[in-house]
Amino acid sequence: MPQSLSSVYLHLVFSTKERRPFLGDKSIREEMHSFLGGISKKLDCPPILVGGVEDHVHILARHGRTITQADWVKELKRGSSLWIKERDPKLSDFAWQAGYGVFSVSTSNVEAVTDYIAQQEEHHRKSTFQDEFRAMLRKHRIEWDERYVWD
């Protein structure tokens, strides 16, 4: 085949360090989501939706063929950390958690995951990030050790 074709959707989730509410200001949170989407697009991983609440983000994107998942996440975190510290000196101690969760999404589920991300504020009136993340790990049959999931 003379052409390389790919259709891989990924749902990426990561939190602020120690789940601190760095993104509590809605305007900063929206700017962060937009900035993350821009980085993802530049990395050939066009975002479908970026969302989240004050202590974590969700990114649904079509993963590009030229970058590893680890490098994609590293560049998202690095670039956005630098940006937010320059954007607001009060956030000079901003940091993302070291780890992340990335989950495959079938084409038939893209709309459902998009809706889920869009409803994050409502969802987190009833559920913590930790409970949400554990549920995602169970749903995707990922084994984990509670001692090493949170930082």
Q: What pLDDT is attached to residue 32?
A: 98
pTM for the whole structure: 0.94
- Sorted by where each begins, the domain ranges of the chain are 9-148
Q: Would you call 136 exposed, middle or buried from its count of C-beta atoms within 10 A (0-12, 13-18, 19+)?
A: middle
Q: What pLDDT is attached to residue 1?
A: 65
Terminal Cα distance for the chain, rounded: 45
Interior CA angle at 143 toward 137 and 147, to 5°?
95
Q: Report how far residue 27's alpha carbon sits from residue 10's, in angstroms, rounded to the nearest whole number.
A: 26
Both tokens assigned to 111: 């709309």
Written out in words, the top-level CATH class of the domain with range 9-148 is alpha beta
pLDDT by position in tens, the chain (length 151): 688 888 999 999 999 999 999 999 999 999 999 999 999 999 999 999 999 999 999 999 999 999 999 999 999 999 999 999 999 999 999 999 999 999 999 999 999 999 999 999 998 999 999 999 999 999 999 998 988 888 7
Q: What pLDDT is attached to residue 49?
A: 99
